[in-house]
Amino acid sequence: MLNKPKLTVIGSLNMDLTATSAKRPAAGETILGERFDTFPGGKGANQAVAAARLGADVSLIGMVGKDAFGDELVQVLKQEGVRTDHIGRADTSSGVAVIQVVDGDNSITVIPGANFQLTPAFIKKKKDVIEASEMVLIQLEIPIETVAAVSAYCQEANVPYILNPAPAQALPAAIIQQASYITPNESEASILFEDTNKALQEFADKLVITKGEKGVVYNGGTIAAYPAEAVDTTGAGDTFNAALAVRLASGGKLAEACCYANAAAALQIGSSGAQAGMPTHQDVTTFMRQNGENPL
């Protein structure tokens, strides 16, 4: 890493509660499961951990509950080197995702909990953190009015920000216009834009569409994905966005940043759990060299 970019991630923190079973229970039915796991998650926390492992100086602005899950979520971030001074504690439960896994397919129920207490009023108290950032990264697992407030503050302070529009929803035009970069996957892009090809031309310097094993599309063309054997794709998008933010904040061009982010995501999907397999900067550069790419 040429420098240690100062990133602020604004978003969700969840505890993922994963139950694996041979089948899904019918209404009123009780079955025996095969396995139960808990994984720290939430798009905000995932992206903060990924960026920290890649060498950035990362602060996370978010909200957890005054419960054991909240304690654990904050502690995990501290262990990863993420600055947690700007995580609030709400008088409600922490966010959780209840995940049922059957034959490798996930059914997920997300209870936002404290994440929806991350309000514009709370963000206003953190304007100095945003203004001191070299890059801001935000997603949509928090109230849309909070996203709009962050967008306005970033524009006012001339701080670039990446909008990862997930989970997908229609967005006010101002948020799209103010974003420095927008990183939907294919399905999210189809919700945001009536014509994605037209959108790629209209937002030539900011729109990046991820297509999994098909790589990344932007106005400059297509950047192929790296070959990888997927064990668990949970968190791949979060790793991509974090890596993109780190590389752009380090002075990289968009094409270079997309290559770097593709490599990071390819490494991440080799492990179970969103955060477990997130790579370091050294991991990514070594992997890129092994695949004939120059990471600098």
Going by C-alpha positions, the residue among 20, 47, 42 that lies closest to residue 97 is 42
Question: Helix/strand/coil (H, E, C) string of 41-96?
Answer: ECHHHHHHHHHHHCCCEEEEEEEEECCHHHHHHHHHHHHCCCECCCEEEECCCCEE
Options 57, 67, 232, 238, the catalytic residue: 238
At CB < 8 A and 24+ separation, what contacts does 278-285 make?
278/46, 278/49, 278/50, 278/53, 278/235, 278/239, 278/242, 279/53, 279/54, 279/239, 280/53, 280/54, 280/55, 281/1, 281/53, 281/54, 281/55, 281/246, 284/54, 284/243, 284/260
- Encoded tokens for 296: 């600098």
- Residue 271 in contact with residue 232, Cβ under 8 Å? yes
Instruction: For residue 110, give the 3-state DSSP assignment.
Output: strand
Q: How far is CA 180 from CA 27, 51, 100, in A?
A: 46, 18, 36
d(CA 33, CA 52): 35
103 tagged catalytic: no
**Beta-carbon neighbour count of residue 125 at 10 Å?**
11
Which residues have C-beta within 8 Å of that of residue 188, sequence separation ≥ 6?
165, 166, 167, 168
The residues annotated with a catalytic role in the active site are 238
